[in-house]
Amino acid sequence: MPRRYLPKRARILGTVSLSSRPTLIVFGAGVFGAWTAHHLLTSGARVSLIDAYGPANARASSGDESRILRCGYGPDELYSRWALQSLTAWRTLFERVDGGAAPLFHASGVLWMASDPGDPYTIATLDTVQRLAQPITVLDRMALRTRWPHLMTDDIGLALLEPSTGVLMARRAVQTLAADVEARGAQAIRARVVARRDDVRLQSVLLSDGRELRADAFVFACGAWLPKVFPDLLGGRIRPTRQVVIYFGTPPGDDRFGPSHTPAWVDFGAGIYGVPDLEARGLKVGIDTHGSAFDPDADDRVLDAASIDRTRAWLRHRMPALADAPIVESRVCQYENTSTGDFLIDRHPELENVWIAGGGSGHGFKHGPAVGEYVAGLVLGTAKPEPRFSLITKGTQPHRLVY
């Protein structure tokens, strides 16, 4: 019979006592885990960062080539503020750490398109971004045609452009961060947890390489693996779904689809997003609609015919010059969805020194730096808990509110 998990006000948990230089373990070297390790290390803690497959691996939600960083989130000012905070942190990291010859952030701008000129979410996005004094431009159909004649937008009723945002090179960015964390003194381990020893506190974990590790506190930022780690607690509350992105080859000698001439975009009504042709990998088209249930360990990541048909139909309608473009690459990753799309960042209700950080829900990558700072603050006792991220607010029936 499943355990009952009580709201925080009904829990009886001791205060976690940490030494002046605590030993902390972070499980999951994706964007949430790597940034959490960064902030814990910066605080002076001893940190281990553990991942079964390695930082930003091919199975991870952080493992694709690129992720959009936008500010607009409808009325959700918290997410907009975290996106801005994170953009600054990403840029600071990239200025400090050499990520290679190619840039890790492309300031292509992000275009939000809605069919309905009165779409409430889009109007709220405009209001929120303006209230935060961030640049955003309202574009009518004539302006869209003038700026991007290769983009067919006659059916777009309202469009917003955030010119100062753009695209993060996701896989390389996380691997650069993880390498920096290790260089600064964190212990990086590639292994999986095979057993835990716990009571009201987690005492230690046994790893697949035979090591037993003890720590003062533990953070599980395992993404789509969280329901496997805590099945009684998170089964149904975090739902991994199969998500597809496809890269289409652009015509030879044609630079219209690069970041200088095509922004990243969200076609809200169509449920399609994408990024321009970066590093000559092709124009990326992603399906935002939640896919079928997905096992991040065992399921194949093979492109399916239905996804090809849907993305080609979108290209035929919106970018007809690429309607017959060849597929040069594809990826099957996963979202790890909560019921609303809000993050799940909370202390475990029965293990007083364990925190859970997940529920990226397809939009979390951009917020990695802010999430990591917040989680580190919870562990160290310096952050005030945000109620909307609590476990008690997460149901098992999908009711998506965050896009």
Least confident of 14-23, 143-152, 373-382, 387-396: 14-23
| DSSP-assigned letters across all residues of 83-141 | HHHHHHHHHHHHHHS---SS-SEE---EEEEESSTT-HHHHHHHHHHHHTT---EEE-H
Whether pLDDT at 2 is above 90: no
| DSSP-assigned letters across all residues of 49-73 | EEESS-TT-TTSTT-SS-EEE---B
Q: What is the pLDDT of residue 143?
A: 95
Least confident of 7-16, 19-28, 340-349: 7-16
* SS3 label, residue 169: coil
pLDDT (tens digit per residue) in 103-153: 999 999 999 999 999 999 999 999 999 999 999 999 999 999 999 999 999
Cα dist from 49 to 31, 209, 266, whole Å: 12, 15, 33
pLDDT band at 98 (very low <50, low <70, confident <90, very high): confident
pLDDT (tens digit per residue) in 252-282: 999 999 999 999 999 999 999 999 999 999 9
Domains of the chain: 8-61+172-237+339-393 (3.50.50.60), 89-168+239-337 (3.30.9.10)
pTM, entire model: 0.94
- E-strand stretches of 199-326: 202-207, 212-214, 217-220, 239-248, 264-267, 272-275, 283-287
Burial class (CB in 10 A: 0-12, 13-18, 19+), 194: exposed
Single-letter code of the amino acid located at 29: A
pLDDT (tens digit per residue) in 190-236: 999 999 998 899 999 999 999 999 999 999 999 999 999 999 999 99
The DSSP call for residue 384 is P
Averaged pLDDT, 44-55: 97
Return the higher-pLDDT residue of 10 and 162. Answer: 162
Distance from CA of residue 172 to its chain's centroid? 14
Averaged pLDDT, 76-85: 97
Q: Which helix (H) or strand (E) holds 162?
A: strand 158-162
Contact between 69 and 341 (Cβ < 8 Å): no
pLDDT (tens digit per residue) in 237-254: 999 999 999 999 999 999
